[in-house]
């Protein structure tokens, strides 16, 4: 879903991206299951800040940044100086990649912008290879009031527990999860079958 003007100004701001890099993204990067991914997806990449951070952290990975908003992708492409990053317009519920194309999928503050986040989980699972990993950072539904929902153009509301349950239902084993204020993160691996708990 495209963001409204206020939301776009906020997520494209230096302040938001500084906070993201300094305080939020470490929740994911400090919990990487592996660092040798060859091809990764950054779903909801916006103008590319998160994709560049993923590429900086995963030095050997080819990074695909996908966003529904064409204006954001145009800006990302204008700002891109890396041959390892490609920015594309795409829909989180219908990604234009073949089955098992990615080693990992990152979704920073994205899932609540997708109208049916469960369809997006299913689609992320489809484009992940077996034993591929998913890294999600998002906002618990308790944070949203009508004004914030409007500014943020929120499409889906879910709690951390609900989101974790949906991951498990779609064949993911959750390895790490946590929360900070209204934010939560989940790190999970895709299995064709779920192994017994260790």
Task: Report the CATH number that the domain containing residue 29 is assigned in CATH.
Answer: 3.40.50.150
In terms of Cβ atoms closer than 10 Å to its own Cβ (0-12, 13-18, 19+), residue 72 is buried
Per DSSP (E only), the strands in the chain are 39-43, 62-67, 85-89, 102-108, 128-139, 172-180, 183-190
pLDDT(7) > 80: no
Q: Is 99 among the domain residues? A: yes
Q: Is 190 among the domain residues? A: no
Proportion of the chain in helix, strand, coil states, percent, rounded to 5: 40, 25, 35
The number of residues making up the chain comes to 198
Q: Is 19 among the domain residues? A: yes
Q: Is 52 among the domain residues? A: yes
What is the number of structural domains in the chain?
1
DSSP bridge pairs for 186: 136, 177
**Minimum mean pLDDT range among 5-9, 24-28, 37-41, 107-111:** 5-9
pLDDT at 147: 60
pLDDT at 150: 56
List alpha helices for 20-66, DSSP H.
25-29, 49-57
In percent, the amount of the chain with pLDDT more than 90 equals: 62
Residues of the domain holding 138: 5-177
Q: Is 197 among the domain residues? A: no
Number of neighbours of residue 2 by Cβ within 10 angstroms: 13
Residue 162: closest CA among 180, 191, 141, 137:
141
Return d(Cα 41, Cα 52) in angstroms, integer.
Answer: 12
DSSP bridge pairs for 85: 63
Q: Is 191 among the domain residues? A: no
Return d(Cα 65, Cα 108) in angstroms, integer.
Answer: 11
Q: Is 139 among the domain residues? A: yes
pTM, rounded to two decimals? 0.87
Number of neighbours of residue 158 by Cβ within 10 angstroms: 19
Q: Quick: pLDDT tens for 40-83.
A: 999 999 999 999 999 999 999 999 999 999 999 999 999 999 99
């Amino acid at each position: 879903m495209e963001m409204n003007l206020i939301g776009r100004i906020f997520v494209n701001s230096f302040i938001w991206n500084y906070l993201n890099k300094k305080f939020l993204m470490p929740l994911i990067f400090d919990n990487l299951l592996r660092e040798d991914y060859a091809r990764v997806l950054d779903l909801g990449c916006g103008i590319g800040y998160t994709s560049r951070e993923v590429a900086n952290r995963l030095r050997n990975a080819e990074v695909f940044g996908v966003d529904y908003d064409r204006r954001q992708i145009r800006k990302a492409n204008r700002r891109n100086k890396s041959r390892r990053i490609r920015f594309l317009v795409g829909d989180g519920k219908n990604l234009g990649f073949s089955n098992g194309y990615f080693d990992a999928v990152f979704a920073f503050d994205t899932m609540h912008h997708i109208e049916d986040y469960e369809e997006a989980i299913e689609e992320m699972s489809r484009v992940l290879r077996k034993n591929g990993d998913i890294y999600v950072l998002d906002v618990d539904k308790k944070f949203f009031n009508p004004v914030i929902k409007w500014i943020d153009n929120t499409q889906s509301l879910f709690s951390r527990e609900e989101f974790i349950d949906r991951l498990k239902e779609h064949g993911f084993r959750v390895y790490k999860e946590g929360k900070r204020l209204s934010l939560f993160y989940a790190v999970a691996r895709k299995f064709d079958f779920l192994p017994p708990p260790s």
